[in-house]
Homo-oligomer: A and B are copies of this chain.
Amino acid sequence: MQLSKSRRIRSTPYSRRVDQAGAKAFTVYNHMLLPTLFESLEADYWHLCEHVQVWDVSVERQVELRGPDAARLAQLMTPRDLSKIDLLQGKYAPICNADGFILNDPIVIKLAEDRFWISIADSDVKFFAAGLAQGYGLDVEVFEPDVFPLAVQGPKAEELTARIFGESVRSTGFFRGEMLEFRGSKFYVARSGWSKQGGFEIYLDNPGLAEPLWDALFEAGEDLHVRAGCPHGVERLEAGLLSYGNDMDEFDTPFECGLDSYLNLNAEIESLSLPALRDKANNRRRKLVGLAFSQALDLAANTNQVGGIDIIENGRCIGEIRSQTWSYRFQKQLAFAMLPIDYIEQNSGIKIDGQHSDFHPIPFDTSQL
């Protein structure tokens, strides 16, 4: 499928390097280009799992909250307790509306007592924040700063990041970060990233240093077999990483998506979704589960209007496959599917396209695959 370019779909400060590295396909995410393919899906996969890749994830936009009410506004938007977040720590914190539905699933990063970045998935969270700030009369600025994250991912990511930013990154904990220097500018560098291979994200806020940083990583990483990459659809399913818009959207609650451990239902915090979520905690109807089949599924005919795949049983749609892929490592077709809890409790598994799958937790227990 051919993508038409225009200013409305923004490039990034790394776009020239991404093109030079041979990006073959893209998606659009937060009104911006995100590469999706370099050599081949399988070659990209094994390389990510064995070496180190540099990813242009500028699409991971920051919504900055700055001012005396920044912490209050951040807390209003999420049912996760942010009161104990440390300076330069990130927390995965679903953004929910007053009905308890998910509007985004970002990382919230505390840069100062009065300054937060909400590092977002694909939806305009800044509009929600701006509307709330206006309506509640909060003393806070809401804006999207010029920050362009670059991810370094893969088993050799720590080695490569240490070569550029120094040895201190080796002792950085998960979702923790430091302000580290590159050519006279200091960037927030965190142990994070949308893969389970390990790695760091560099929150570059000086576009003029985008290509120098890219080039420095490639020069320093030559012996590590560094190359350009991108979030990988196979690796992330194997790892159980959810994708907002694919696996969950504004018609789902955190409970349905298995995000219970990221809510603090009993916390005494001012979060606008908590009242609805406390109600919904006792009234669960659906759940996202993992499925694994020994052969690829042929389900194109069941593609629904949204782009998911309807699961039909006895002529009735009982659920939806939201993401699926062939796993190179496990030689199985893996899927995330939304199904009624009653169905999951009453059956030992499901038959789709003539093949059986047990119900798996997300993330998968890979010893069971």
Contact residues of A with B, CB < 8 Å? 1-13, 15, 24-29, 31, 36-37, 97-98, 103, 122-125, 127-137, 207, 233, 243-246, 272, 303, 305-308, 322-323
Contact = CB atoms under 8 A, between A and B. Distances in A.
Nearest to A138: B135
A308 B9 CA distance: 10
A37 B25 CA distance: 19
Contacts of A10: 305-307
A28 B28 contact: yes
Nearest to A6: B246
A54 B12 CA distance: 34
The 4 closest A-B pairs by CB, nearest first: A135-B135, A131-B131, A8-B245, A124-B124
B303 A8 contact: no
Contacts of A308: 7
A26 B103 CA distance: 25
Contacts of A3: 1-3, 25-28
Contacts of A123: 31, 124, 127
A4 B25 contact: yes
A206 to B, nearest CB: 12
Residue among A11, A27, A305 with max Cβ neighbours from chain B (10 Å): A305
Given A129-B131, A131-B132, A9 B31 contact: no
A318 to B, nearest CB: 18
Contacts of A28: 3, 9, 27-28
A131 B135 contact: yes
A10 B97 CA distance: 22
A205 to B, nearest CB: 13
Contacts of A4: 1, 25-27, 36-37
Contact of A135 (B6, B11, B133, B246): B133
Contacts of A135: 131-137
A246 B13 contact: no
23 contacts: A1-B3, A1-B26, A2-B24, A2-B25, A3-B25, A4-B36, A6-B233, A6-B307, A7-B246, A7-B307, A8-B29, A8-B243, A9-B245, A9-B307, A27-B28, A97-B134, A98-B130, A98-B134, A127-B127, A127-B131, A130-B131, A134-B272, A135-B137
Given A24-B2, A25-B3, A136-B135, A97 B8 contact: no
A5 to B, nearest CB: 6
Contacts of A5: 1, 307
